[in-house]
Structure 1
């Protein structure tokens, strides 16, 4: 009897501790969910890509933390931050990384610097593009309301990526993307990069920019054409695939509130055009999983992406 009572007490104690842990975890998540203004981080190694200040911009760049990561908004001057691998590991391939944030903010840690560092650690030169953004209210409370309005549109089917519309709507961002490619190509010898193996990967809005860089004005500006592209929880509706379309990698969660309601048209378009495409559709992960540690298989996207790059010879050094 004493043994039975002891076992029951142990179960109650464990249950109580577990409940306390859950409450603490929920409180921490709620705390991390708040937008907290922070000082501008050190960006001394960021390179001005030369596209100039955003026309008519009145609100200047500010930073805040949320979900344990750093975000920037009201970017008025585009920069490119290099993460170069150890020369002994460098394969010669490079990736331009476009973080997401609805063209209102950029998730610089989760979808930028952490991705770049992880790629550089494995031998790929990575460059985080801090592209110019649509202006948002200077006051944090007003900015939060604007973001809440944007997220309230979840569940609506996103518009089909139309090159003409992207060219008009993303003019500053496309200019930044092309300037980033021009800068990397101009310093390819200095950075030990093969100019024929410069790709691009984008997250959410950054994935839209990656697609736009590939699809808009596809018959001109060949120097800005990525050698491969990664679309991480971005739009997946059907597109007209260019004759010189690069290999495409797509990762998306089935519970993504923005893009999981599409019909996989992007993948079908690439496949029908007989262009290389790989698609990972994770059961869970939501939107914006990036490099966050989560207990979902979506965290495997990075290893899948580097495995895909390996298959395409991006980790093989050219002699």
Structure 2
């Protein structure tokens, strides 16, 4: 699906946005205890979505190390994008969906960590805090995908404002955020929400998509049990299980795909990525996959020291370059 760059740029919606000065990044071998986004904005206009009664948003700090923040956001009532703006944008944009088993969305690990790494290389990064399917939303199974679609469209609509190329937008997801990403891979044009404004006339198809140790399948043999139950319930019928299993919905016009997984992942089975790779290659769609002997689950950037998997950010960068994103 080709994108008309001139048309997308012309459709830019100029939204005023006050940018805050970003913190100086800490050394690469430390967690981003003091990293802050340059801006943040809501996905939806006021009143377009109605949070379930009693849902309260909260940040929970899981680390007792003052130099290693590890926060999670739960009870998300205001889905949003936190923006990391490089001093000299290269025109590329990357949206990131962190994991959390569809119970919460982590902030630092899988979000701000990779955002600062990409920002340092000139990429404009948007960290997506998406609604959670088990929090009582109407059509709960579709709210993560709705937020992902809306995020891509909104970023495209802001191309002039954020100095990005609307035809160089990548989307990446970790763990359960990888299920958000791979759902977007195959259902980027599914009608899962009512249009909110002019941005929803733009394409929600990313120009490239990556899954990092992703939850993919709803097949109970390999599914991440918690994510599966939160997304489709404890006893889904066969049609529902299929609809929410991206490996069973691959299509020739899906974006180029990058997959990363450790063979010793004891939380999300590597078979999730293997099946998606096989299905993608089976229809002739582009896919690059990297499987490492060791790494476990949730390694992000900071839990790879001394392991071959530590090279993964460079592999991702080279793949993005090969598809003319960066």
Same fold? TM cut 0.5:
yes
Classify 1:79/1:272 alpha carbon distance in 2 versus 1 (closer, same or farther; 3 Å): same
Residues 86 and 60 of structure 1, relative CA distance in 2, 3 Å threshold:
closer
Question: Within 5 A, what are the aligned runs for 1:238-257?
Answer: 238-257=247-266
Secondary structure of 2:163 counterpart: coil
Q: Which residue of 2 aligns with 1:231?
A: 211
Which residue number in structure 2 is paired with residue 287 of structure 1?
A: 297
The CA distance in 1 between the partners of 2:54 and 2:143, in whole Å, is: 12
How far off its partner does 1:202 sit? 0.2
What secondary structure, in the 3-state scheme, does the structure 2 residue paired with 1:190 have? helix
Answering whether residue 43 of structure 2 is matched by residue 49 of structure 1, we say: yes
By how many angstroms is 1:169 displaced?
5.1
SS class of match (2:180): helix
Report the Cα offset of residue 190 of structure 1.
1.2
Q: Highest Rg: 1 or 2?
A: 1
Alignment correspondent of 2:234: none
The count of aligned residue pairs is 243
CA offset digits 1:295-318 (Å, max 9, x no partner): 322222111101111111222xxx
Partner of 1:158: none
Deviation at 1:228, TM superposition (A): 0.6
Q: TM-score, normalised by structure 1?
A: 0.69
Please give the root-mean-square deviation of Cα atoms over the aligned residues, in Å.
2.5
Superposition deviation, residue 284 in structure 1: 0.7
Q: Name 2:96's counterpart in structure 1.
A: 97
CA deviation map 1:206-228 (0-9, x unaligned): 11001112222646686111111
The answer as to whether partners of 1:74 and 1:135 remain within 8 angstroms in 2 is no
**Structure 2 residue aligned with 1:73:** 74
How far residue 59 of structure 1 moved from its aligned partner, in angstroms, is 3.0
Deviation, structure 1 residue 43: 7.0
Aligned to 2:61: 64
Q: Distance in 2 between matches of 1:246 and 1:129?
A: 19
Q: 1:218 to 1:132 in 2, by over 3 A?
A: closer
Q: How does 1:1-319 map to 2 (within 5 A)?
A: 45-50=39-44, 52-66=49-63, 68=68, 69-87=70-88, 90-134=89-133, 170-216=141-187, 218=189, 223-235=203-215, 238-257=247-266, 258-262=268-272, 264-294=274-304, 295-315=306-326
- Please report how far the alpha carbon of residue 265 of structure 1 lies from its aligned counterpart in structure 2 after TM superposition: 1.6
Deviation at 1:111, TM superposition (A): 0.4
> Contact (CA 8 Å) 1:252, 1:260: kept in 2 or not?
yes
Cα distance per residue 1:250-304 (max 9 Å; x no partner): 0000011122245812111111222211111011111111122433222221111
Counterpart in the other structure of 2:226: none
Question: For 1:190 and 1:312, how far apart are their aligned partners in 2?
Answer: 24
Cα 1:168–1:243 change in 2 (3 A) is farther
Choose 285-294 or 230-239, whichever is displaced more. Answer: 230-239
**1:12-46 residue CA offsets vs partner (Å, 9 max, x unmatched):** xxxxxxxxxxxxxxxxxxxxxxxxxxxxx977821
Task: Give the match's secondary structure for 2:62.
Answer: strand
Structure 2 portions without partners, runs of 5+? 1-34, 192-200, 218-246
* Structure 1 Cα separation of the partners of residues 139 and 186 of structure 2: 13
1:175 aligned counterpart, secondary structure = helix
Q: Helix, strand or coil for the counterpart of 2:161? A: coil
